[in-house]
Structure 1
């Protein structure tokens, strides 16, 4: 009986992936349902989309331009936000940098520059000192940066990150969650659609997001 259950499950998985298509994403193939749905930040009829990422993650770096363009096209349809995974814990310098830039209102100017610094210029932002040096060299006022860096709001968000990741059960990046209920990622899309290079996989991932957002929007 146990073997039969495994066989039936395997047949179901093969069936779901046999008809997989990023342009028409299927639950159980290009995206999955979270085991413990989380409350979404509701803003009117906008659909919440969260990207869990890390600046030094090469896959996040490849996905970034495709995702940024997708967010721009979605416009008022979505409430988009990012959560930086704190790989080294609540004192992670990269996560701290992201939250500081967010608090300063500098993400639009600096977000892509951080990716470039790490993946092109090979700056290793693994200490607070390196992060501060980079920020000042890239035109940010040292005093204002440190004020934001050490602020109560930034420190509170930084300390909460591990519990946020635990709630969503995120253990790899990039991961994208829609409406607190559905999750996809390039690795999930790749499992359902083999043979894509990373650029094609990034394009396919935002296609899947289109379908996920459209599905959720119908329930609003």
Structure 2
């Protein structure tokens, strides 16, 4: 398991290796096998009838944290026919702990500002948020009821969603984060696309491609 986690961290770190000199992409420059890959087996989407975009992430990933402002601004402007959702990557250890935190808060319908506060706490304040009790104390300051959180954290529903997230990561064949998936068909990341803004350009290109195909 330690090797798996280390491998995921290294894969995540490598995503930014090509971003220093990244140039903006023109639609004609975006090619399968270059900026993105098509999954050998297409994965069913959560909301049939909409074009789905998934971001797989980890609260502890510095590149996910750096990507947040860009992807949030992009997601806020998506048209009605596009569905965006986040799925935590579960590579064991703290990845799973933080993934369970995210899924719990999602089940409680907390406001996006809580999600942002967790990223800030980990990356700016050095908090680990490694136990349910530590999470509950921190979340109480964000307006989340401690007892309700702890009850939800250990619930059957959250555990079931954890299993679904694990299966999705396997189906998407991911090895690091942040990674994006469009319509259960196409996978790409910041390294393959050439940086945060190019990643979102690839997402827009594939969304348009899927819309045309419908």
Report the TM-score when normalising by structure 1.
Answer: 0.80
Q: Is the contact between residue 172 and residue 187 of structure 2 (CA under 8 Å) also seen in structure 1? A: no
The structure number with the bigger radius of gyration is 1
SS at match of 1:59: helix
- Find out whether 1:127 has 2:127 as its counterpart: no
Which of 81, 84, 89 aligns to 2:85? It is 81
Which of 201, 207, 211 aligns to 1:213? It is 207
Q: Which runs of 5+ in 2 are unaligned?
A: 1-22
More helix by share: 1
Summarize the Cα distance change of 1:219–1:27 in structure 2 as closer, same or farther, 3 Å threshold: same
Summarize the Cα distance change of 1:21–1:203 in structure 2 as closer, same or farther, 3 Å threshold: closer
SS at match of 2:87: strand
Residues 67-90 of structure 1 show CA distances to partners (whole Å, capped at 9, x for unaligned) of 111111113131111110123259
The structure with higher relative contact order (CA 8 Å, sep 6+) is 2
Aligned counterpart, 2:6: none
Runs (4+) of structure 1 exceeding 6 A deviation are none
SS at match of 2:147: helix
Aligned counterpart, 2:19: none
Cα distance in structure 2, aligned partners of 1:114 and 1:87: 19
Cα distance in structure 2, aligned partners of 1:121 and 1:91: 18
Aligned counterpart, 1:149: 153
Q: Which runs of 5+ in 1 are unaligned?
A: 1-19, 191-200
Q: CA deviation at 1:107?
A: 4.2
Aligned counterpart, 2:43: 38
Q: CA deviation at 1:153?
A: 1.1
Compute the RMSD of aligned alpha carbons: 2.0
Cα distance in structure 2, aligned partners of 1:40 and 1:89: 27
